[in-house]
Structure 1
Amino acid sequence: MVVENADARPDVAREIAREVLVHGPVERSELGRRLNLSPASLTRLCKPYFDAGLFIERQEVQRATVGRRPRPIDVRVEARTFVGIKLTGDDAIGVLTDLRANVLRTEQMPLRGLSLAGVVDQLEVLVKTLTQGARVDGVGISLGGRVRDRRVVTQAVFLGWEDVALADALESVLGVPVRVENDVVALMAAEHWFGPARALDSFALVTIGAGVGYALVIRGEIVTSPDVGLAPMGHAPLEPNGPLCERGHRGCATAVLTIPGMCAQVASVRGAPVTFEEILHDARHGDVVSTSVVQASARALGRLVAWIANATTVTTVVLSGEGNGLFGAAEQTVRDACADDRQPESHPVQFIVEEPDFIMWARGAAAVAIQDVVVG
């Protein structure tokens, strides 16, 4: 049914902007069908975006049928720019992006101190370095911890922060909108709007790195709760005979699936420190210790994905994070372990594997800023 009175839906203009940004280029007829809008209402509501230079018409679609060939609507990605910054306890990693979170420039800056004033000063420098004096339309910050209303860092252990109004402090010096978000939620924002799973109604995200992250999209919405930022999957029991984590949990995700956990296992046998990249390299070349750890971690990953799929009924899982090389090193082991913990009649889990890249965390922060501008 076509909704003729679009004014009865106050957010319909933002719905149009989101649809074109996420799924464009899209034909007017398809856009009207998705949003239940008549051609007249759609034309009227799109006009401000065309006038502002945000929407453009792409080349006409070639068809065999007779009649006027449609010209799909798309966004002009260069019309707006955004900065995304990932904060760790040691560094600030920043990116400059366009309207679809395509990375245009990257910078990294070591943090000289962790006081709010000191961090804000350094972030101001980082933003100016990334923009090179040009206009920026919004800034997003992502970090490991708990965030309230995309404004206040309620807890970030690695920064030693509690109830820190980071968005207010940074807005006061930058003069542009600033949004703050948990890093896994921010990464999911990028996957949800701009990633390879953006056309799906429901899917999960699992990240492997310094910790194990998890996020979920159900019916087109990211699932959130007050516990976001507490790493709920970090101590999921995955290997009954595995090593202990620092909290005394045997075989939990932190102990067997994180980069520090895998490195600690190999180092304990060798008696010397080892990097994650060295473990993957040595496993590929037949090293017994590295191979054993990689295979055990791969089985743990498969079990975790199976548990998520069983509990949520999603059948697509995006794997991301700087430790994502584990999947490539033992893909069949991951798939087999996942299948073993699923009902035989269940739909097979589809894996979407992102390239390991720390920049993705900063891109997620930019996606949060983009969302704020598009949908408020």
Structure 2
Amino acid sequence: MNTVIPLPDALSDSALELARLVLVRGPISRGELAKELKLSVASLTRLGKPLIDSGLLVEGELLTDGTVGRPVRLLDVRNDSAWFVGVKVAGDVLQAVLTDLRATVLAEASLPLPDTAVATVVAGIARLSEQLAAQHGVVVTGVGVSLGGQVRAGGVVYRAPFLAWKDVPLGALLADRLRLPVVVDNDVTALVAAEQWFGAGKEVADFAVITVGAGVGYGLAIRNHVMRTADTGLGLGGHFPLDPTGPMCADGHRGCSTAMLSIPSICLQISAALGHPVDYAQALELAEAGNKVAVAVLEAAAKALGVLISAAANLTMVNTVVLGGEGLALFTSRKDAVLTALAAGRDPDADPVTLRVASADFTEWARGAAAVAIQAQAFVL
């Protein structure tokens, strides 16, 4: 059942920052929080009292590290103090998840799309949101939606070619339908946001995200800030040149990241060479069995992925790269080839690049959508 947390009527910016920090870093001691917020422990205790009294923050058991000194109680958030729905809009399906305050997926649901008309998509998102809330007996705090394309202020989808949308006020339409706060964001940017608060960003302030699937996506977080520009959602990372001898993409770019790495391109290359249709799972199986065509295509793709990772790290000077998307099997099945190409593209004196592999599950995209809703609402509960 949903837990209703009666928060104080007005929280100072400092109290909100405290709550956000505990959400992202908790469980955490008051001493660590005081250091991070540049406050005395006494001031921090006063600041946190209304949050604890409201039930948003909770104190753990007394802990000791075995040395002389007072035991401490770690502060944490109540994960069940708010619930969020995240929805990923794909060309033929809506994928939705229900999450708690830390973007932990508690339930999921999907709905095929008969078409991409705005009314169809809005109705489908509303149906999934209401279905997840009703099935689990919770009151949803906010809804996040992600899609491939450019999204402007107010949740306006400025451009989404795969949906054939232009200037669609999706956020306003959904907010009016659901009577809830709604956030709309680019799908790759939403994944970066999820990593920022609930993944790689918990340990590093700077990282890149590269996704491989129906296309190739790229996102960046610098100094704990998700990079968003007017060009976000154009898919600029999808046409980065990787191999001058590679195949062409639909836009005529030879050997770009989409041509080398995307699932449709990999399948098309192998299918054309073998003379019959091959899907991604079959392509991987053929390569595993030693089929020369499949091995050659996937080895070239793995090398290209290593080149792309090294370019991202070199040009942005980040040392952590998160790999995501439903095409992640390219990395896991050809890891050595990827790492060899990555090393070849790095200065030997440069710090090593840490690779983090996210879930290849399609629900990860929907979780990213939930994460941007959480970030937008924390802590307007």
Q: Tell me what 1:25 maps to.
A: 27
Q: Tell me what 2:123 maps to.
A: 121
Distance in 1, matches of 2:301 and 2:116, equals 34
Secondary structure at 2:349's aligned position in 1? Answer: coil
Distance in 2, matches of 1:158 and 1:172, equals 25
Q: Tell me what 2:73 maps to.
A: 71
What are structure 2's unaligned runs of at least 5 residues? Answer: 1-10
Secondary structure at 1:138's aligned position in 2? Answer: strand
Q: Tell me what 1:80 maps to.
A: 82
Q: Tell me what 1:180 maps to.
A: 184
Q: Aligned pairs, how many?
A: 368
Q: Tell me what 1:235 maps to.
A: 239
Q: Tell me what 2:5 maps to.
A: none
Q: Tell me what 2:361 maps to.
A: 357
Q: Tell me what 1:37 maps to.
A: 39
Q: Tell me what 2:4 maps to.
A: none
Superposition CA RMSD, Å: 1.5
Secondary structure at 1:357's aligned position in 2? Answer: coil
204-213 vs 108-117, which moves further: 108-117
Shift of 1:375: 5.9
Shift of 1:66: 3.3
91-100 vs 146-155, which moves further: 146-155
8 A Cα contact 1:141 1:178, kept in partner: yes
Q: 2:160 aligns with which of 151, 156, 159?
A: 156
Shift of 1:11: 2.7
8 A Cα contact 1:96 1:130, kept in partner: yes
Q: Tell me what 2:8 maps to.
A: none
Give 2:340's aligned amino acid.
D
Secondary structure at 1:71's aligned position in 2? Answer: strand
Q: Tell me what 1:244 maps to.
A: 248
Distance in 2, matches of 1:345 and 1:77, equals 43
Q: 1:165 aligns with which of 159, 166, 169?
A: 169
Distance in 2, matches of 1:262 and 1:150, equals 37
Give 1:45's aligned amino acid.
L
Give 1:324's aligned amino acid.
L
11-20 vs 186-195, which moves further: 11-20
Secondary structure at 1:18's aligned position in 2? Answer: helix
Distance in 2, matches of 1:108 and 1:280, equals 26
Distance in 1, matches of 2:336 and 2:215, equals 23
Give 1:42's aligned amino acid.
L
Q: Tell me what 2:276 maps to.
A: 272
Shift of 1:168: 1.1
Shift of 1:207: 0.4
Identity of aligned residues (%): 48
Q: Which whole-Å deviations, capped at 9, do the CAs of 1:164-193 have from their partners, x for residues lacking one?
A: 111111111211110000000001111111
Q: 1:288 aligns with which of 269, 292, 295?
A: 292
Give 2:84's aligned amino acid.
F
Distance in 1, matches of 2:353 and 2:50, equals 42
Q: Tell me what 2:101 maps to.
A: 99
Distance in 2, matches of 1:333 and 1:114, equals 39
Distance in 2, matches of 1:171 and 1:40, equals 41
8 A Cα contact 1:150 1:181, kept in partner: no
Q: 2:114 aligns with which of 109, 112, 131?
A: 112
Q: Which whole-Å deviations, capped at 9, do the CAs of 1:21-64 have from their partners, x for residues lacking one?
A: 11100000100100101223212222232232211011222222
Give 1:75's aligned amino acid.
V
Q: Tell me what 2:326 maps to.
A: 322
Distance in 1, matches of 2:62 and 2:376, equals 31
Is the counterpart of residue 209 in structure 1 residue 213 in structure 2?
yes
Q: Which whole-Å deviations, capped at 9, do the CAs of 1:133-183 have from their partners, x for residues lacking one?
A: 531000000000000125111111122211111111111121111000000
336-345 vs 114-123, which moves further: 114-123
Distance in 2, matches of 1:117 and 1:52, equals 40
TM-score, normalised on structure 2? 0.93
Give 1:344's aligned amino acid.
P
Q: Tell me what 1:89 maps to.
A: 91
Shift of 1:14: 2.3
What are structure 1's unaligned runs of at least 5 residues? Answer: 1-8
Q: Which whole-Å deviations, capped at 9, do the CAs of 1:253-280 have from their partners, x for residues lacking one?
A: 1111111111111011011111111111
